[in-house]
Structure 1
C-alpha cells in the first residue's frame, strides 16, 4: 500500500508542477503589464519593473496556492483516471476516501512548503521590491503621491509623514496637538527630520502655529527636537503593504497599532489569512477528487481543467470579497478569514465521503 501511496503522491506533485508552470507565466505577465503602467521617464524604469515582478514571483506563487492545489490534483489524478490506473489501484483495496487522504497529505506538504516560502522568502523579497519602486517614484518630480504614508497618535497628539527619502529619513512631517474639547491648539510642519536615536527626532525647516484666546501666532525655527511616536517600529517597515509582512512582523505591527490607538483590522486580517490560505488549499485539493473519478473518459481532461479554473476563480474571488467586507465593516478577523476555508473544507470532505459511498 505504501508503494501505491508514493505513486499517487508522485503524480499529484507532477500535477502541482504542471499547474504552477501553467499559471505562473500567465499571472506574471499580468503583473508585468500592471507594473509597466507605472513606468515614467524620470523615475520608475521598465528594467526596474521587470526586477520588481521577478522579486514578487514567490508572492504570486503563494497567492496561487489554492489554484495550484485544485488544478494540480485534477491533472495528476485525472491522468491516472484516464489511463484506468486509479481503477486498478482501487481493485487492490484502495478506497476513494483513502486516495483522498493521500491527496490531502500532498496538500499538507504543499501548504508547509508555501508557508515557509511566505515567511522567509516571499515577504523579504516583496518588501525589497516595494523599496525599489518607492525610491524610483521618489526620483520622479512629476509623480505626486496622494495622501500621506504614515499616521500615528499619542493621546491628543497626531503625526503624519508624507514620504521617506533615499536614506529612509522622514519628509513632510505634520504634527497636530488638540485640546480636550477637540479644538486645534498647535500645528507644526517640518520639511525634513533626522532620526538621532530611536526616540528623538530633530525636525528641520519648522513652521509652528499656535492658537490661544482666539489669536494665532506663527513661529519659524531651523531645528526642533521631538519625541517620536514611532519609537518601537522601523519607518521603512511601517510603509510596507500588509500582505508583505511575515507572521512575526504582523504580530509586532498589530501590537504597535494598538499601542498608538490606530485601527489594526487590516493587519489582523492579513495575519489570519496566513492560516486561511493553507486551509483553502487543503479544501481545493479535496475538491479535485470528484473531478478525477467522475466519468474517466468523458469529458476529457481539458474540460475538467476548464471547470476547475472556473471553480478556483469563483472561490478565490468570493474569498477576497468576504475579506474586503470584513475590512469594510470591521468584522472579527478570525471569523472572516477562517470561516470560508473551514466551511469549504468540510463541504469537500462530505463530498469525498459521499462519492466514496456511491462508488
Structure 2
C-alpha cells in the first residue's frame, strides 16, 4: 500500500506532463516557424538548415515548458482522481493528503533539478548555436563571433579593439592603455594586430609609447610579446547577452564587472532567475494541488484549469515585474526575483493550513 499509491498517482501525473510538454513545444515551434517564414523564403534556406535550427532550439523550449506543464499535470491528474471519487476513498481509508500529494511534490522537485541541469548543460549551448547558425545562414556575412569597436577593461589595462575575432583569439587595430596608480596612463601601445600564441599575446606592426614626467619615449616594433594577465577566456563574454552565458560563467562575469565598478544588476537578476525559474515548477504544482483540494467533486477540471492558469499568469507577471525592477536598480536583484516566489509560497501555505486545520 505504501508504494502503490505514489506509483498510481505518478502514473496519472507523468503522461499529462509529457503531453503538455509536447503540445507546448510544438505550438512554440509552429509560431516561430511562421514568424521566420518570410526570412526563410527570402534567404532560400535549404530544408536541412531549417531542421537543424529548430532541433537546436527545441531543448530550450522544452525546459521553458516545465513549470506550466507541472501545473497542468498536478491539476489534471489529481482532478481525475477526485472526479472518480478515488481521493474520497483514500480519505475514508484514513490516508492523509501527503500520501497522494507528496509524490507530485517530489516529482516536481525532480523536474526542477532536471530543468536546471538540462538548461545549463544542453539547452543554452544549443540555443546559442541555433542563433549563430541562423545569423550565418540568413546574412551570409561576417560571422557572429566577430565583434567590432570593443572596449574592454582588464586588470591594469584598457583595450580598444577595432575588431575582435574570438574564433581564433585575434584582434585587429588595437590600442592598449596601461594604467598606473591614480588611474594615470603610463604606457600606450598601438598595433595593427594582436594574436594569442597559446601562451601570450603577440602584437605586430605597432608602436609603444612610454610616458614619464620628463619625456615620452616611443619604440616601433614589428613583433612584440605582451606581458598581459588577460587570456582569451577573459574576452569570452564580449557582447554576450546574460542569457547566453552558463551559470558559473555568468557568476564570474557579474563579480568581475561589479568589482570594476560597473552596473552588474542585469547579470545578478539573471543569476537569480536561473534558480527561481526551475523552482516555479514546484510552486505551481503546489498551487495546482491546493486548487484541486478546494474544489468540490462537481467543480470540474475545466474550472480548476481556468483558475490555475489565471494564478500562474499572475505569478509570472509578478516575477517579470520584480525582475525588471531589479535590473534597473529600483530593487535589489535578489528581492526583485524572489519576491514572487515568497508571496506565492506564503499563499500555498495559507491555503494548505486553512484546508487541513
Same topology, TM > 0.5: yes
The 1:351/1:188 distance shift into structure 2, 3 A limit, reads: farther
Query: Unpaired runs of 5+ in structure 2?
Result: none
67 and 160 in structure 1: CA distance in 2 versus 1, 3 angstrom threshold: farther
- Residues 142/192 of structure 1: CA separation in 2 closer, same or farther (3 Å cut): same
Specify whether residues 62 and 89 from structure 1 end up closer, same or farther in structure 2 by C-alpha distance, changes over 3 A only: same
How many Å separate the matches in 2 of 1:222 and 1:49?
Answer: 46
Task: Rate the CA distance shift 1:22–1:238 in 2: closer, same or farther, 3 A.
Answer: same
Alpha-carbon separation, structure 2, partners of 1:227 and 1:330: 41
CA distance in structure 2 between the aligned counterparts of 1:30 and 1:277, rounded to whole angstroms: 23
Deviations 1:295-349 (A, max 9, x none): 3333x43443344333323322331231122111174333333332133122112
* Match in the other structure for 1:83: 84
State the 1:206 CA deviation.
Answer: 5.9
Aligned-pair CA distance for 1:288: 0.3
Q: Secondary structure at the match of 1:56?
A: helix
Segments of structure 1 that go 5 or more residues without pairing to the other structure are none
Matches within 5 A, 1:227-266: 227-228=227-228, 230-231=230-231, 233=233, 235-236=235-236, 238=238, 240-258=240-258, 261-266=261-266
Match of 1:5 in 2: 6
Give aligned pairs, total: 352
- CA apart distance, 1:16: 1.4
Structure of higher RCO (CA pairs closer than 8 Å, 6+ residues apart) = 1
- Of 35-44 and 279-288, more deviation after overlay is shown by 35-44
Q: Are 1:95 and 1:356, in contact at CA under 8 Å, matched by a contact in 2?
A: no
Deviates more, 1:97-106 or 1:73-82: 97-106
* Secondary structure class of the residue paired with 1:297: helix
TM-score scaled by length of structure 2: 0.77
In structure 2, how many angstroms separate the alpha carbons of the residues matched to 1:189 and 1:40?
45
TM-score, normalised relative to structure 1: 0.76
1:86–1:258 Cα change, 3 Å: same
Say whether residues 1:275 and 2:275 are aligned partners.
yes
How far does residue 170 in structure 1 lie from its aligned partner after superposition? 4.1
Equivalents in 2 of 1:257, 1:138: separation in Å?
Answer: 32
Whether the 8 Å CA contact 1:185–1:211 is kept in 2: the answer is yes
CA distance in 1, matches of 2:139, 2:210: 32
CA distance in 2, matches of 1:167, 1:256: 24
Is contact 1:268–1:333 with CA below 8 Å preserved after alignment?
Answer: yes
Report if aligned partners of 2:20, 2:72 keep a CA contact under 8 Å in 1.
yes
Conserved 8 A contact 2:161-2:171: no
Q: Aligned-pair distance for 1:26?
A: 1.5
Going from structure 1 to structure 2, the CA distance change for 1:308 and 1:45 (only over 3 Å counts) comes to farther
> 1:18: which partner in 2?
19
